């Protein structure tokens, strides 16, 4: 029987030695041409010669138990493992974070695309892309990591995510022209490891194989470090060899240096922009565009074209006070623009297709929506919020424009639906302070939300001297007072019960469960004491980064981020954000900030009461019931999404412990 039948996991696979098709067999698929025999392991075709090959962040002794546990509760298992082994939370994000494939809209991806994630590791990118493609094939040479991905796709019912274990054959195990998109993220530099021969030639052969399996109009996404990253010279050693400035050296010197230090031959070759361009063009990728992922390509937040050095510099500079620090930040910005750490290279033949963002913008232009402005894509700023699972495209020119938000998963869609409802139903007097909803819809199986752009300057960009601080604070207070109209706590108790259930499911010990119970009791007590008075129930992020300030008066012109809003919610979070923001940024004490706030507030305002709670907190009077209840509520809420999936902090065991420990009696 030949490989017929749609459900066959061998369908579309070829012998990695001779590209022959497979004779169907439950356990041992055999090549119809050369007769080579392979395996199927827990539903994953294993096409390796060396089936002992194991490259993994976790030691082999731990992996079987880890995989067994993950079949029941994947996130909980990852979290528990990281905590027990004292591993960095970032590793959890690396294994599961949805923001890591956030560059997806820069690809010509569509609901019809066939995508290959080559050297997929734990399959985070493949998993993230499966939502918006017809089929995603994830390939890696470590079976154990593929098994985790396989479990994950089975658990979540992702039938279009296929896993293949391969890597040491002559060929990629696919027929010619199989894919629309191939992802090679953090892989090309490792290709020569463990193989004999010239590293450059091995990398070229690898790219030739990628070209072969790509359709003529297909696209390669190549994520890789820059050979001339300034950091490997000045600050960090090269991530592959652990040696400082080794990528910068001519290859023969790099090898000499590497051998002298006992690391053996230098084989993890990296290239410069021009060299990548030539390397790719020699293998049939005539068209390549370079994007700089910031802060890095493993966990990108900003995607800035290499051709926009000023924007790159802007995204890496921090706002600082002293002239020396300012100079250093300036230099850092310039260096990053000239010698970035890494590139995300999008390469194709001359037959290249428009990327998703191009197509979406064209679609929105054609819709002829009132309030939509036709601004060229060169003006776009591309931001990935991994925590929320939202990609934000800012299209702005001369102070006007639009903001497009693209959710990466279902929870993000729900958040954005909340946000839209809030904007549409907000009180009239606030309408000029909030972005307007211009459009929302679905384009090529992707939800989108379009808002008006609020002109002004983000509070983030301001360095406000202490004397002008009160202006900002007073303006923020006015805004909060305006919100003090909506009074409704009817659903707070039941919402609390929901949150309690979710958080309890996360608690891993009896003492943590007790902490959650205590926190919930406090919240309940608090809700009972205040429900007659009427308290604000809206929530917007009044932290400075989300406030739009007027340049001269420093009054708040608008608030841009309402992602965390829900209608029945206690106040406190906004204040906490704003005050801690101010403390962190301006070094003024919380007491001083609070004093500034108080002076202009009516005494009966809820805001003044909330400030009292903060005041008590700053005096370390944590025993105060209301204060603790407010913070308990907010922290519980922060933990609640953990049970639902996706939260940047979900792997940070220190963070979780800290939160629970606050309530440990
Ligand atoms: Zn064969």
Span 434-447, pLDDT tens digits:
899 999 999 999 99
In the reported structure, the alpha carbon of residue 511 is separated from the centroid of ligand 1 by a whole-number distance in angstroms of: 58
In the reported structure, the alpha carbon of residue 526 is separated from the centroid of ligand 1 by a whole-number distance in angstroms of: 70
- What are the C-alpha distances in Å from 513 to residues 86, 132, 375, 630? 21, 38, 52, 19
Same domain, 509 and 489: yes
Same domain, 429 and 535: no
Same domain, 510 and 397: no
Instruction: Judge whether 287 lies within some domain.
Output: no
Whether 278 shows a pLDDT value over 80: the answer reads yes
Instruction: Judge whether 266 lies within some domain.
Output: no
CA distance 372 to 365: 8
CA distance 140 to 55: 10
In the reported structure, the alpha carbon of residue 605 is separated from the centroid of ligand 1 by a whole-number distance in angstroms of: 77
Same domain, 432 and 577: no
b or e along 596-623 (b: 16 or more beta carbons within 10 Å of the residue's beta carbon)? bbbeebeeeebbbbbbebbbbbeeeeee
- Mean pLDDT across the chain, nearest whole number? 81
pLDDT the model gives residue 574: 64
Same domain, 553 and 608: yes
Which residues sit opposite 380 in a β-bridge?
395
pLDDT the model gives residue 157: 86
Instruction: Judge whether 566 lies within some domain.
Output: yes
Which residues sit opposite 383 in a β-bridge?
302, 392
Same domain, 361 and 487: no
Whether 213 shows a pLDDT value over 50: the answer reads yes
> What's the per-residue H, E or C state across 549-592?
ECCCCCCEEEECCCCCCCCCCCCCHHHHHHHHHHHHHHCCCHHH
Contact 195, 202 (CB under 8 A): yes
Which residues sit opposite 402 in a β-bridge?
395, 452
Higher pLDDT, 137 or 85: 137
Which residues sit opposite 225 in a β-bridge?
342
Whether 580 shows a pLDDT value over 80: the answer reads no
Instruction: Judge whether 185 lies within some domain.
Output: no
pLDDT the model gives residue 384: 94
In the reported structure, the alpha carbon of residue 222 is separated from the centroid of ligand 1 by a whole-number distance in angstroms of: 29
CA distance 46 to 165: 5
pLDDT the model gives residue 330: 93
According to DSSP, residue 49 is labeled S
Same domain, 421 and 477: no
pLDDT the model gives residue 623: 39
In the reported structure, the alpha carbon of residue 138 is separated from the centroid of ligand 1 by a whole-number distance in angstroms of: 21
CA distance 55 to 520: 44
Same domain, 603 and 519: yes
CA distance 464 to 193: 52
In the reported structure, the alpha carbon of residue 13 is separated from the centroid of ligand 1 by a whole-number distance in angstroms of: 11
Which of 46-50, 110-114, 581-585 shows the lowest mean pLDDT across its residues?
Answer: 581-585
Whether 4 shows a pLDDT value over 50: the answer reads no
When computed from its CA atoms, the radius of gyration of the chain, rounded to whole angstroms, is: 27
Helix (H, G, I), strand (E, B) or coil at 446: strand
Peptide bond into 295 cis (omega under 30): yes
In the reported structure, the alpha carbon of residue 476 is separated from the centroid of ligand 1 by a whole-number distance in angstroms of: 69
Instruction: Judge whether 198 lies within some domain.
Output: no
23-35 pLDDT per residue, tens? 876 678 899 999 9
Whether 235 shows a pLDDT value over 80: the answer reads no
Whether 605 shows a pLDDT value over 90: the answer reads no
Whether 210 shows a pLDDT value over 60: the answer reads yes
Which of 130-134, 325-329, 423-427, 584-588 shows the lowest mean pLDDT across its residues?
Answer: 584-588
Same domain, 559 and 479: yes
Q: What is the CATH number of the domain that holds 364?
A: 3.30.200.20
* Residue-number span of the structural domain to which 578 is assigned: 457-661
pLDDT the model gives residue 517: 81
Name the percent of the chain lying above pLDDT 90. Answer: 41
In the reported structure, the alpha carbon of residue 22 is separated from the centroid of ligand 1 by a whole-number distance in angstroms of: 8
In the reported structure, the alpha carbon of residue 37 is separated from the centroid of ligand 1 by a whole-number distance in angstroms of: 8
In the reported structure, the alpha carbon of residue 290 is separated from the centroid of ligand 1 by a whole-number distance in angstroms of: 37
CA distance 109 to 241: 34
354-391 pLDDT per residue, tens? 999 999 999 999 998 999 998 988 889 999 988 788 99
In the reported structure, the alpha carbon of residue 20 is separated from the centroid of ligand 1 by a whole-number distance in angstroms of: 5
93-144 pLDDT per residue, tens? 888 887 899 999 999 999 999 999 999 999 999 999 998 999 999 999 999 9
Contact 197, 316 (CB under 8 A): no
pLDDT the model gives residue 207: 97
Whether 89 shows a pLDDT value over 80: the answer reads no
In the reported structure, the alpha carbon of residue 642 is separated from the centroid of ligand 1 by a whole-number distance in angstroms of: 46
pLDDT the model gives residue 534: 46
Give the Cα-Cα-Cα angle 13, 19, 24 (nearest 5 degrees): 45
In the reported structure, the alpha carbon of residue 341 is separated from the centroid of ligand 1 by a whole-number distance in angstroms of: 40
Whether 547 shows a pLDDT value over 70: the answer reads yes
Quickly state the pLDDT bin for 589 (edges 50, 70, 90).
low
In the reported structure, the alpha carbon of residue 36 is separated from the centroid of ligand 1 by a whole-number distance in angstroms of: 5
Neighbours of 518 (CB within 10 A): 16
Length of the chain: 665
Half-sphere exposure of 506 (CA within 13 A, CB side): 29
Which of 317-326, 428-437, 514-523, 569-578 shows the lowest mean pLDDT across its residues?
Answer: 569-578
Where do we find the tokens 């493992």?
Answer: 81
Residue finishing a domain among 406, 428, 452: 452
Name the percent of the chain lying above pLDDT 70. Answer: 75
Beta strands in 248-367 (DSSP E): 287-294, 302-305, 342-348
Which of 8-22, 45-59, 204-218, 561-575 shows the lowest mean pLDDT across its residues?
Answer: 561-575
Q: For ligand 1, an ion, list residues with CB under 5 A.
A: 15, 17-18, 20, 31, 33-34, 36
In the reported structure, the alpha carbon of residue 34 is separated from the centroid of ligand 1 by a whole-number distance in angstroms of: 4
According to DSSP, residue 329 is labeled H
Same domain, 383 and 466: no
In the reported structure, the alpha carbon of residue 19 is separated from the centroid of ligand 1 by a whole-number distance in angstroms of: 6
The contacts of residue 559 (CB under 8 Å, 6+ apart) are 433, 434, 479, 540, 541, 542, 546, 547, 548
Instruction: Judge whether 578 lies within some domain.
Output: yes
pLDDT the model gives residue 519: 74
Instruction: Judge whether 27 lies within some domain.
Output: no
Same domain, 496 and 638: yes
CA distance 66 to 59: 10
Same domain, 461 and 447: no
Domain count, the chain: 2
In the reported structure, the alpha carbon of residue 172 is separated from the centroid of ligand 1 by a whole-number distance in angstroms of: 12
Contact 437, 424 (CB under 8 A): yes
Whether 66 shows a pLDDT value over 90: the answer reads yes
In the reported structure, the alpha carbon of residue 169 is separated from the centroid of ligand 1 by a whole-number distance in angstroms of: 10
Higher pLDDT, 557 or 363: 363
Q: What is the CATH number of the domain that holds 501?
A: 3.90.1200.10
Nearest CA to 225 among 206, 202, 248, 204? 248
Whether 607 shows a pLDDT value over 60: the answer reads no
In the reported structure, the alpha carbon of residue 49 is separated from the centroid of ligand 1 by a whole-number distance in angstroms of: 12
Tokens for 509? 């010990």
Half-sphere exposure of 279 (CA within 13 A, CB side): 22
pLDDT the model gives residue 491: 63
Instruction: Judge whether 299 lies within some domain.
Output: no
Quickly state the pLDDT bin for 565 (edges 50, 70, 90).
low
288-341 pLDDT per residue, tens? 999 999 998 888 999 999 999 999 999 998 877 788 988 999 999 999 999 999
Nearest CA to 137 among 94, 105, 178, 170? 178
Residue finishing a domain among 394, 428, 452: 452
Higher pLDDT, 38 or 72: 38
Whether 641 shows a pLDDT value over 80: the answer reads no
pLDDT the model gives residue 646: 38
In the reported structure, the alpha carbon of residue 30 is separated from the centroid of ligand 1 by a whole-number distance in angstroms of: 8
In the reported structure, the alpha carbon of residue 288 is separated from the centroid of ligand 1 by a whole-number distance in angstroms of: 34
Helix and strand counts by DSSP (H, E) for the chain: 21, 20
Tokens for 249? 């050296």
pLDDT the model gives residue 192: 92
In the reported structure, the alpha carbon of residue 155 is separated from the centroid of ligand 1 by a whole-number distance in angstroms of: 33
Residue finishing a domain among 452, 476, 509: 452
Helix (H, G, I), strand (E, B) or coil at 491: coil
């Amino acid at each position: 029987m030949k490989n017929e039948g749609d459900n066959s996991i061998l369908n579309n696979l070829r012998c990695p030695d001779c590209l022959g098709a497979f004779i169907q067999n439950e356990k041992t698929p055999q090549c119809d041409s050369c007769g080579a025999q392979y395996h199927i392991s827990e539903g994953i075709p294993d096409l390796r010669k060396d089936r002992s090959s194991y490259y993994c962040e976790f030691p082999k002794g731990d992996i079987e138990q880890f995989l067994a546990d993950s079949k029941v509760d994947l996130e909980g298992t990852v979290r528990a493992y990281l905590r027990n082994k004292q591993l960095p939370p970032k590793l959890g994000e690396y294994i599961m974070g949805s923001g890591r494939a956030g560059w997806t809209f820069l690809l010509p991806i569509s609901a019809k695309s066939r995508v290959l994630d080559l050297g997929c590791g734990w399959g985070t990118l493949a998993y993230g892309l499966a939502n918006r493609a017809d089929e995603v094939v994830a390939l890696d040479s470590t079976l154990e990591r593929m098994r985790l991905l396989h479990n994950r796709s089975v658990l979540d019912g992702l039938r279009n995510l296929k896993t293949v274990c391969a890597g040491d054959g002559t060929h990629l195990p696919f027929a010619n022209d199989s894919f629309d998109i191939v992802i090679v993220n953090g892989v090309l530099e490792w290709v020569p490891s463990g193989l004999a021969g010239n590293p450059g030639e091995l990398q070229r052969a690898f790219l030739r194989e990628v070209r072969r399996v790509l359709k003529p109009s297909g696209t390669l996404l190549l994520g890789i470090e820059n050979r001339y990253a300034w950091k490997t010279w000045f600050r960090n050693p090269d991530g592959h060899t652990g040696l400082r400035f080794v990528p910068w050296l001519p290859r023969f010197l790099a090898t000499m240096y590497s051998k002298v230090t006992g690391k053996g031959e230098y084989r993890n070759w990296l290239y410069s922009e021009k060299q990548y361009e030539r390397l790719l063009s020699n293998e049939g990728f005539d068209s390549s565009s370079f994007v700089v992922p910031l802060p890095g390509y493993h966990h990108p937040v900003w995607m800035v074209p290499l051709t926009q050095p000023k924007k790159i510099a802007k995204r890496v500079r921090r706002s600082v006070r002293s002239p020396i620090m300012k100079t250093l930040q300036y230099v850092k910005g310039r260096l990053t623009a000239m010698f970035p750490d890494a590139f995300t290279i999008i390469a194709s033949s001359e037959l290249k297709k428009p990327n998703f963002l191009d197509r979406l913008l064209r679609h929105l232009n054609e819709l002829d929506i009132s309030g939509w402005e036709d601004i060229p894509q060169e003006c776009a700023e591309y931001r990935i919020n991994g925590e929320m699972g939202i990609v934000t495209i800012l299209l702005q020119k001369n102070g006007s424009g639009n903001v497009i938000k693209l959710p990466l998963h279902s929870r993000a869609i729900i958040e954005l639906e909340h946000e839209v409802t809030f904007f549409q139903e907000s009180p009239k007097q606030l309408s000029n302070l909030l972005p307007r909803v211009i459009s929302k819809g679905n384009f090529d199986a992707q939800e989108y939300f379009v808002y008006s752009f609020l002109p002004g300057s983000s509070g983030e960009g301001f360095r406000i001297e202490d004397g002008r601080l009160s202006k900002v604070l007073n303006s923020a207070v006015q805004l909060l007072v305006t919100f003090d109209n909506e009074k409704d706590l009817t659903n707070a108790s039941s919402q609390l019960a929901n949150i309690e259930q979710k958080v309890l499911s996360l608690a891993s010990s009896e003492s943590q469960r007790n902490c959650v119970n205590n926190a919930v009791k406090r919240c309940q007590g608090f809700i009972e004491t205040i429900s007659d008075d009427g308290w604000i129930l809206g929530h917007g992020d009044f932290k400075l980064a989300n406030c739009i300030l007027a340049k001269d008066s420093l009054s708040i012109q608008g608030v841009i981020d309402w992602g965390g809003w829900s209608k029945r919610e206690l106040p406190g979070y906004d204040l906490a954000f704003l005050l801690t923001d101010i403390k962190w940024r301006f070094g003024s004490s919380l007491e001083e900030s609070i004093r500034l706030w108080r002076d202009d507030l009516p005494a009966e305002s809820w805001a003044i009461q909330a400030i009292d709670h903060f005041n008590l907190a700053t005096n370390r009077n944590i025993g105060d019931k209301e204060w603790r209840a407010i913070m308990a509520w907010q922290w519980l809420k922060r933990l609640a999404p953990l049970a639902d999936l996706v939260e940047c902090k979900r792997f940070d065991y220190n963070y979780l412990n800290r939160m629970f420990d606050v309530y440990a009696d």
